[in-house]
């Protein structure tokens, strides 16, 4: 085992209300394989990642039936009510030392080149996240759905995953943020709150998160372009 091992946590306890589906969105299929299969494959195939912890809803009845669930790197843990709770439960299953990637279960199009860039960028206590530059004009709206003002898009980024941090530092920061009732939307937001530096690593814009029904066809297109619709688990 490496002196600075690399792990991954995949929070998969959500139900994906915006998909209007009878099953959680991570189990919707693209070419007969569930989204979470693709999301996990890039992590599991990476030689530097020693273990992948998947945080599941207490009543999850799908994951254990998947071929990917039998991979020797996979561990499972019960998730929590919020993303931060699920990630923290996953971190508690891992050793104290090392680094950890956190990746969305419904983000199937991560490519290995971006993963390698992220791993190279993170150093010590300085975290790193994949991000894509905002290209469109951004508007700030209000409760009446009218425009309040245009947001300057220079140096504005979409936060993607994976997000990579020192494992013990992320665990302790999430624990403190939850205890103090902070709003945590992703792991980087917890680190920002605690004033820990986080690098932005520009990644591919096709690393989309499937949140709406139309995203399924877009994800399929991107996976096909990446040559990943083989129908086989590697």
Q: How much is the pLDDT for 17?
A: 60
Is residue 115 in a domain? Answer: yes
Q: How confident is the model at residue 234 (pLDDT cuts 50, 70, 90)?
A: very low
* Whole-Å CA distances, 8 to 26, 133, 139, 144, 221: 17, 25, 35, 41, 26
Would you state the pLDDT for residue 138? 84
Quick check: helix, strand or coil at residue 162?
strand
Does residue 230 lie in a domain region? Answer: no
- CATH number for the domain including 124? 3.90.550.10
- Which 3 state secondary structure label does DSSP give 224? helix
* Domain assignment of residue 107, yes or no: yes
Helix (H, G, I), strand (E, B) or coil at 75: strand
Return the minimum-mean-pLDDT range out of 14-18, 50-54, 190-194: 14-18
Report CA-CA distances (Å) from 63 to 7, 11, 58, 69.
20, 12, 11, 6
pLDDT band, very low/low/confident/very high, at 232 (cuts 50, 70, 90):
very low
95 in the Ramachandran plot: left (φ > 0), alpha (ψ -120 to 50) or beta? beta
In a domain, 233, yes or no: no
The pLDDT of 69-74, averaged and rounded, is 97
16 found inside a domain: yes
- Overall domain count for the chain: 1
d(CA 151, CA 144): 18
Q: What is the pLDDT of residue 94?
A: 97
Catalogue the long-range contacts made by 83-86 (C-beta closer than 8 Å, 24 or more residues apart): 83/11, 83/14, 83/184, 83/185, 83/186, 84/174, 84/177, 84/178, 84/184, 84/190, 85/178, 86/11, 86/12, 86/13, 86/55
**pLDDT-derived band at 205, boundaries 50, 70, 90:** very high
Of 188, 181, 178, 176, nearest to 118 (Cα)? 188
State the average pLDDT over residues 165-175. Answer: 97
Range of the domain at 89: 6-225
Angle at the Cα of 193 (from 191 to 199), degrees rounded to 5?
Answer: 40
Mean pLDDT of the 69-82 span: 96
- Residue 116 is assigned to a structural domain of this protein: yes
In a domain, 99, yes or no: yes
96 exposure class (CB count in 10 Å sphere: 0-12, 13-18, 19+): exposed
What pLDDT is recorded for position 179? 96
| Arithmetic mean of pLDDT, 113-139 | 93
The per-residue pLDDT for range 218-229, each reduced to its tens digit, is: 999 999 999 998
Summarised one tens digit per residue, pLDDT across range 47-67 is 999 999 999 999 999 999 999
- Considering the domain boundaries, does residue 231 fall inside one? no
Tell me the percentage of the chain whose pLDDT exceeds 90: 81
The per-residue pLDDT for 19 is 59
Confidence of residue 144 (pLDDT cuts 50, 70, 90): confident
- Stretch 107-124: mean pLDDT, rounded? 96
39 contacts: CB under 8 Å, gap ≥ 6: 10, 26, 103, 104, 105, 106, 107, 108, 110
């Amino acid at each position: 085992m490496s002196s600075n091992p690399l792990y991954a946590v995949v929070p998969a306890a959500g139900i994906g209300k915006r998909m209007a589906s009878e099953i959680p969105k991570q189990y919707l299929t693209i070419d007969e394989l569930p989204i979470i299969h693709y999301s996990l494959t890039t992590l599991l195939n990476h030689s530097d990642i020693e273990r992948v912890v998947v945080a599941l809803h207490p009543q999850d009845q799908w994951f254990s039936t998947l071929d990917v669930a039998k991979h020797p790197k996979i561990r499972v843990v019960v998730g929590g009510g919020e993303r931060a709770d699920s990630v923290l439960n996953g971190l508690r299953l891992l050793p104290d030392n090392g680094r950890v990637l956190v990746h969305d279960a419904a983000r199937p199009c991560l490519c290995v080149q971006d993963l390698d860039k992220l791993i190279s960028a993170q150093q010590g206590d300085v975290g790193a996240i994949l991000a894509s530059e905002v290209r469109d004009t951004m508007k700030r709206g209000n409760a009446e759905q009218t425009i309040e003002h245009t947001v300057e898009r220079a140096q504005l980024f979409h936060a993607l995953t994976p997000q990579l941090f020192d494992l013990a530092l992320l665990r302790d920061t999430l624990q403190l943020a939850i205890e103090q009732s902070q709003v945590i939307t992703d792991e980087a937001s917890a680190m920002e709150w605690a004033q820990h530096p986080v690098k932005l690593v520009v990644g591919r814009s096709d690393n989309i998160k499937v949140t709406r029904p139309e995203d399924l066809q877009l994800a399929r297109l991107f996976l096909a372009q990446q040559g990943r619709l083989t129908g086989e688990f590697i």
